Structure formats: C-alpha cells, structure tokens
Structure 1
C-alpha cells in the first residue's frame, strides 16, 4: 500500500539523514513527505536535537530567480537552505526506493502578511486582523502561489502536497490569540470571511450583493461583541441562512470560484515542472485537530466553508489529501467515504492519520483506522508527523500497514 510519513527538515538536520531514513524505511512506508515550505510554529519535538523546536515561515531552498524575480511576494528563506537539504533528501530517498513529496504551505505566512498587510484577509469591519492569512483573491498572492508550487516541483519531488491553498479560518490567523467574548461557531465563521476589494469584486461578478453581505456580517458579529448572545450549533448552510441571511451564504459560496481557479493554475504549473499536485483539504483539521472529536458534520460536507468545491477540484487535480483527525475508526470511514463520493473513483485519495495523541491512543486503534480508511476508498494512508511523535508511537506504524 502506498503510504508516506510527514517529516520536517529540522528532523533530518538534527538526527542525521541516514538515521532518519533508516528508521522511516523500517516503518514500512513507501515515501517521505518533507516540509519544503512551512509556517511559524513552536513544537515539542521529543527526539529532536532540541526538545522544543521553533519553526519559521519560509522555504528550504533558494527561490529561483526566474520564478520570483519580478514578483512582489517572495518566500523567506529558512536557515540552512544553502546546504540544499531537499536535494540531499531526493538523492537519499531514491537510493532507498522511497518516494519524496514536497509538503508546501501556500497561503499561511505571517512574515509576508506583516510586511504586506494589504494582501491579507480583511474582515467585515475592515480590519486586517489575520496577518498569517494571505487572501487567495489578491493577484499578487495568486502569482506567488503559482511560483511557489512551480519552485517546489522543481526540487524533483514526486508530488507537491498543497496545504493552505484555500481560505483559512479566523481561529488560525495569528499566534497567542485571545478572545474573552463568547463567540459562537457561526460568529467565528463570519469573522473569518474576507471582504477585501478583490473578494468583493469576484463575488459581485457572480451576482452576489457583496456589500449587503458585509453589512450583515458586521451587524451580527458587532451585536455579539456588544453583548448579544451568540448562536450555538454547527455551521451549516441552513443554519447560516437563518442566522445571517441568504446573501451572506451566497457570498461564502462564491469563494469557491476563487479557490478552484487558483488550484487549477497551481496544478497546471506543477504539472509543467514534471510533478503533480496533491490538494490537502484542511476541513478535517479545522474540525478535529485539537481533540480528535469532530462534530457530527462530515468534513467533505463542510469544505465549502474554506471555499473548497470538491466536485470541481475532482476534475482539476489528480490527488486529494484528507486530514482524518478523529478518534473513532467509524468516523474516519464516514469522512473518507464522503470524500470518495464527492471526488469520484478515478482520483487518488490520500488519508492522513496521526499515530498518537490526541486521537490515537493505541496501536490497535491506529490499525483499525487504517483499515477503515482503506475500506472506505483510500488509495494511500500517510502519517503525521515524524518529529512530533515519540519513537514508541511511531513504532505503531508498521503493524498498522497491510502486509
């Protein structure tokens, strides 16, 4: 069975290339998915060179001049990129018969957002309050995303695994976030909608009254900030229509055109470099990342909230990645099955599982979830992530893989 283990460049640098790849080969996976372009984070790294690792925005290679030379947005370069860690990985994985995939975070970049606030999401109040979130409607952001996808593909990877190539959520817009106002799920959703000039113009071109949608969002969220009780329950189209009105729902749904067209451009660019695009839908992470207990709505049914149209993308990209962050194997099967029905049978479906906390408490549970994913239509099961899990947790992987 095709499978891969997510790895950070810092893992390899800290433990040694041969040591890491020897361990990964022993787990029985078929490939390595390396973070070629990543975002800011602070991680507990149980077997790393440092037990707490601070990560930064940027790429682990020199941005090609022919791709970024004329662009306004250029990715920051990670420390140690001059050592060409991706080139070393490409050679070493090939020697071991492992595939190499380039994990690429596209539109989450605090460094670029703080330096260029006009390319970030603008909420219904006119605030640029999510500096980590680059808006996929902005022309400069779209040019950057296409160049980044092409640049990672040029590193010789078998695929470019695209994370964050869609709209984000308000809850992931910055670090050390604080809110002492009891916002409900729908208020958080409304506060995360982008009303920049480019988003509003694209919605208007599709027949949506964007200004009415913005005014309604500001009125509703403003009321909650002033003390009105928030609405509870999951965000669904029906509930959102009742809470904020049909124009807001139409505005939210119009964002799928932005995402679909951008993914198409990036996929074409990646293919031109001899690789392929794996589109990661972050909906499963948004629902279950913290605790592995996603609410009842299936991720495939809620992906519209990020501007993701799975049916349209099924015609554009060769592979879709699903973040199945759930404790229960039956829920994993339900989520994977819903994605399979949305994308059709001819597209590769890669399911990402976490072998440890917070949603996998035993080797048996991991095995059950791998089996559930496969029975529901997964073509590959990948595991997240080498540097974040203790060795005894990673040792669950070979027993969970078939054969």
Structure 2
C-alpha cells in the first residue's frame, strides 16, 4: 500500500520548511508538478508569497533546445528565477526521505494550442478548443513524448500522466458562460468528440455521418426538442483508445525502469484530465482513478475497474472537499494506494485530515 500527496513546485522552492512539513503528513511519495497547465493557486505556508498565477502551461524543468523541433512548452515567467524548479523541489523532497513522481500534463495547453490551432480539438460544428491538443496529430504525440523523454533524461523519478489524450467541452474559460443552456452530461460528451482533420482521417467516411448526428442531437436539446441521446461513435472511441494506448506504450518505453501511472477512467466516452480508455487494452503500471465526491460511487467505480484489470489501481482523493472521508473503504474496494490532493493548497485543518487518513489507513 502506498500513500502520496500532490504538490506544486512553488510550494517548495524558496521555502526551506516545506519538504519537512510535507513529509510530516506521513505519506511516502509526492506527485510533483513538472509540466502543468495554467492555474491560480494559493500558498498558505510559503514565506515569500501567497497567490501564484501561472499564466500559461509550462515546463518546470530545463528544455534541451535540440529536442524540440516542433511544438514545445513555454518556460514559466512567474515566481523565482530558477530554470530547474522541478529538480530543486524534488531534491528537497528526496533529502526529506520522500519518493517523487513527476506530474506531467500532456495535451492541455492554451499557449501551445493558441499558437498552433491546426492541432487542437475541433467539435462537430467545426469549432476549436484551443486548450485541447489533439493527439491524433503526430506533432502532438511528439510533443507529449518529448516531455516524457526530457524528464526521464534529467531525473530518476516515476511518472504520473495527466491529460494523456483528449480534452473535451468541459473546461473553465476566462469567464465561462455555458451554464444557462443547461447542457446534459450526454450533450457535453457529444461536444467533446473531436472532428479535426486527423481524427476524421482516422475514422474514415463514418466521420461525416457521425458529425451530423452529433449536431442534430445537441441542437435538439439546446432548442427544446428533447434531451440529447448518445450516438453510435464506436469507431471514434476505438480510435481514441488506440491512440492513448500507443502513447502510454511509447511513454513506458521511454520511462525504462521507472513506474508509469495514468490518470484514467474505464469509460471511453470520458475526456479531460482523466482519460477514458478500455482498461483491458491500455497498460500503464497503475491506473489512477479520481475518487472525489461521493464515497460509495467511488467504491463502485473501483470495484468495477478491479473486475476489468489486474493492473494496480490508485485512488486519487481530495482533501479540499468539506465532506471528505472513506479512504479505508477505497482501499477495501481494491485500491492499492492513495494520492491525496493537495498538500500545497490545503488549510491546516485539511492537512491534519490527510495526516489522520494516512495514519488510519496504515494502521
């Protein structure tokens, strides 16, 4: 059984007490941001700052210039002037006796997508999602795998992959104005299907029929004719699973002896940070399942996944919810470990809850 916590580099760099504070939670591993999307975060404990605004997706490690002939991540322009924030933070955690996993967000970058709109997700109406890089494009796969390769060449750490596939409709924009339409979960899934040229080529003549069916279903719901129903998208979903499986396989080859964890769910319709795949065909070293919210729903999810795969399952739980418990139940349901979100964002009371959960589950 393994316990770990998530953390950002800015939680540690510049704070000489941070590594010991995180180690004091009792977990043995830290999933540390190495390539990450834009975010505004609070740092309750840092001696030099309180609010960090990461304005764009960035790599928190030095980039080797000759490795990036095509798409490339930006360097962070905020916080301390340190070209190797991941390495600095990882070294502090290692010195405090903790293992480190590199937290890699692969296909979520508004900065890269805005600069290269031709490789972004395009919905059935032809509209692009600039935050979502589509891995049907070889350039995007090369970009994602180069991130993995760069980290593996510089650090001897395990890897956790987030957004290792398609992002979909659901994404917090600068001022999100979509709630009023009361889109159902089904309509959101339909709006998350990609019809960019690369995806259309992969699924063949079926693409035009499928796009028309998606538009008809979504318009019917939006305009009051009835709720959207899922369409037959088997070819597209199979394509997504194939691409994600290939990405994971190539990443594992690059990772060599390192353990590779994949944030995922056993539902091929799902898009986002936790990619939807067939657990019987994609083979990381462990699946990381988001177990936020209702504990019993998470237990059912874990049990169903355990029936579908022999690959270890790790429960990703959040200590940021006001109603949060159930770690013991998740372990009993089949989780081989837990990752607690998030050691840098949590208040003192929530850090205490992580510490208590780790101690109780380890007893």
Same fold, TM-score > 0.5, yes or no:
yes
Report deviation, 1:173.
6.7
Instruction: Give 2:280's aligned residue.
Output: 311
Instruction: Give 1:23's aligned residue.
Output: 21
More displaced 10-residue stretch of structure 1: 76-85 or 189-198: 76-85
| Deviations 1:372-399 (CA, angstroms, capped at 9, x unpaired) | 1211221211111112110221112222
In structure 2, C-alpha distance between the alignment counterparts of 1:265 and 1:229, rounded to whole Å: 45
What secondary structure does 2:32 align onto? strand
| Deviations 1:133-167 (CA, angstroms, capped at 9, x unpaired) | 00010110011011011112233242111000021
1:327 alignment partner, one of 287, 294, 305: 294
Instruction: Give 2:308's aligned residue.
Output: 342
Instruction: Give 2:321's aligned residue.
Output: 357
Instruction: Give 1:214's aligned residue.
Output: 211
Number of aligned pairs? 351
- Superposed CA RMSD: 2.1
Pair 359,195 (structure 1): closer, same or farther in 2 beyond 3 Å: farther
| Deviations 1:71-117 (CA, angstroms, capped at 9, x unpaired) | x1011011346342222233333323210110011000000011111
Whether the 8 Å contact between 1:132 and 1:174 is mirrored in structure 2 is no
| Deviations 1:248-274 (CA, angstroms, capped at 9, x unpaired) | 344334321122122222222222xx4
In structure 2, C-alpha distance between the alignment counterparts of 1:87 and 1:192, rounded to whole Å: 35
Report deviation, 1:44.
4.1
In structure 2, C-alpha distance between the alignment counterparts of 1:358 and 1:117, rounded to whole Å: 39
In structure 1, C-alpha distance between the alignment counterparts of 2:27 and 2:331, rounded to whole Å: 15
More displaced 10-residue stretch of structure 1: 393-402 or 142-151: 393-402
Higher share in helix: 1
Question: Which consecutive residues of structure 1, in runs of 5 or more, have no partner in the other structure?
Answer: 233-238, 284-299
Question: Which consecutive residues of structure 2, in runs of 5 or more, have no partner in the other structure?
Answer: none
TM-score by length of 2: 0.89
What secondary structure does 2:181 align onto? coil
In structure 2, C-alpha distance between the alignment counterparts of 1:399 and 1:74, rounded to whole Å: 41
In structure 2, C-alpha distance between the alignment counterparts of 1:27 and 1:82, rounded to whole Å: 27
1:269 alignment partner, one of 249, 254, 262: 254
In structure 1, C-alpha distance between the alignment counterparts of 2:220 and 2:297, rounded to whole Å: 36
Whether the 8 Å contact between 1:166 and 1:308 is mirrored in structure 2 is no
Report deviation, 1:37.
0.7
More displaced 10-residue stretch of structure 1: 256-265 or 19-28: 256-265
Pair 320,81 (structure 1): closer, same or farther in 2 beyond 3 Å: farther
Q: Is it true that 1:231 corresponds to 2:188 in the alignment?
A: no
TM-score by length of 1: 0.81
Instruction: Give 2:13's aligned residue.
Output: 13
In structure 2, C-alpha distance between the alignment counterparts of 1:24 and 1:13, rounded to whole Å: 13
Kindly report which structure 2 residues correspond to 1:175-186, keeping only aligned pairs within 5 A, or say none: 175-179=174-178, 180-186=180-186
| Deviations 1:205-258 (CA, angstroms, capped at 9, x unpaired) | xxx711110121122223444x234417xxxxxx52xxx3x3x34433432112
What secondary structure does 1:382 align onto? strand
1:43 alignment partner, one of 26, 41, 63: 41
Q: Is it true that 1:123 corresponds to 2:123 in the alignment?
A: yes
Kindly report which structure 2 residues correspond to 1:3-402, keeping only aligned pairs within 5 A, or say none: 3-13=3-13, 16=15, 18-48=16-46, 49-55=48-54, 56-68=56-68, 70=69, 72-79=70-77, 80=80, 82-128=82-128, 130-172=129-171, 174-179=173-178, 180-204=180-204, 209-225=206-222, 227-231=223-227, 240=230, 244=231, 246=232, 248-271=233-256, 274-281=257-264, 283=265, 300=266, 302-306=267-271, 307-313=276-282, 316-328=283-295, 330-344=296-310, 347-360=311-324, 365=325, 369-401=326-358, 402=362
In structure 1, C-alpha distance between the alignment counterparts of 2:206 and 2:53, rounded to whole Å: 43
